[in-house]
């Protein structure tokens, strides 16, 4: 039943969106009753979070493919791989945004993942390591968060608004912004 409910939720989110899906839609699609749903999950947000348990490690793996000192070609290749990953997981990416907007815990949930991603990138990039350190300044934390939001938005635009921007131009700006962030020594 657990797997049937997860599959039904993902299909319903793809068809109707997270906002447009009710627990009854998931139950009906999974062909189980509401009591079965509530034995597994305490609501729609809980089933959505469970869907993401297998997604987050795959997203982190995409970010871990970015080499420690990427040249333009390597960075461009990395962007292409992440954009393909975004497109292959379209429903989940759109669901993330809706959860952040609709659920009381949604923004904190999204920020928790972003902070974990910053810590992961800190293994290869000192600017991220500085921002993730227990004694990080608030400015370092904000700088890393803003950079991540900018990076995520560029990747999202390339993945889901094809043709809105010249891909090469977006990648060039992303490379410049990444290098500016990565070389920032934190003294500014």
- pTM confidence score: 0.87
Residue pLDDT, tens place only, 59-94:
999 999 999 888 999 999 999 999 999 999 999 999
Q: Where are the alpha helices (DSSP H) in 41-164?
A: 44-52, 55-64, 72-88, 90-102, 106-121, 126-132, 138-160
Residue pLDDT, tens place only, 20-67:
999 999 999 999 999 999 999 999 999 999 999 999 999 999 999 999
Residue pLDDT, tens place only, 52-65:
999 999 999 999 99
């Amino acid at each position: 039943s657990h797997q049937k409910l997860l599959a039904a939720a993902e299909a319903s989110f793809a068809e109707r969106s997270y906002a447009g899906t009710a627990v009854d839609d998931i139950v009906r699609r999974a062909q189980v009753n509401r009591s079965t749903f509530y034995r597994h999950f305490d609501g729609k947000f809980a089933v959505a979070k469970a869907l993401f348990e297998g997604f987050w490690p795959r997203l982190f793996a995409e970010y871990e493919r970015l080499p420690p000192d990427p040249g333009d070609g390597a960075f461009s290749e990395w962007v292409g791989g992440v954009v393909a990953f975004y497109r292959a997981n379209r429903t989940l990416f759109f669901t993330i945004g809706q959860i952040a907007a609709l659920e009381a815990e949604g923004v904190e949930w999204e920020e928790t993942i972003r902070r974990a991603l910053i810590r992961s990138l800190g293994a290869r990039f000192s600017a991220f390591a500085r921002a993730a350190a227990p004694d990080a300044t608030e400015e370092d934390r904000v700088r890393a968060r803003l950079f991540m939001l900018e990076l995520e938005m560029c990747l999202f635009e390339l993945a889901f608004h094809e043709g809105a921007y010249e891909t090469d131009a977006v990648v060039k700006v992303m490379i410049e912004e990444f290098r500016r962030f990565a070389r920032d020594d934190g003294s500014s």
